[in-house]
Structure 1
Amino acid sequence: MEEHLLTQKLQQRLRFSTRIQEAQAAVLIAITNENNPKVLLTRRSIHMNNHAGEVSFPGGKRDPSDTSNIVVALREAQEETALNPFDVQLLGD
């Protein structure tokens, strides 16, 4: 799908989304910019207390120093996958 069409669809969906309270966690849905796009997923450690061994999007809980959900998602993705946040082009939040 063309990048501008994907961005437009995400923004249309977000317009109708309302939050009652601020999220305490966030994930990053990273899609590669290729002819055959891929999605970045992680596998949780089997030693985790919650959701052990499950496949998930990179993400996690908000830290007191995080200023937004975008910061949470980018920080967690960097911690979990070494993804450089400066290589990410945001399409929505």
Structure 2
Amino acid sequence: MDLDLSSAALENCIYCGACFRYCVLGAYNELDGMELKALVAGVTRIARKGYRPEKDGRIKELLDRCTLQGYCNKVCPAMVNPLVRNRVAKKRIEEER
């Protein structure tokens, strides 16, 4: 899998959480106390720098809910490609196993 994040336009991200908030699967209606901004920041950090099992376990648990359907791309007000970000983050997590 290509780990190129250039098409994700992550530099435009405003960390609003719309990509997770409006997931059509409703997978992120309950975050068990985590704020959407923290989830977006955590997934973005994993995609860019890699997975740290000792610190990113909760982010991984929440990202595991993502089925990579791509509906998140339609709601991003900053024109980021959350699907690419999530796909790369999942791949980085997989590489650490």
- TM-score normalized with structure 1 length: 0.29
Using CA pairs under 8 Å that are at least 6 residues apart, name the structure with larger relative contact order, 1 or 2: 2
Return the index of the structure with the highest Cα Rg.
1
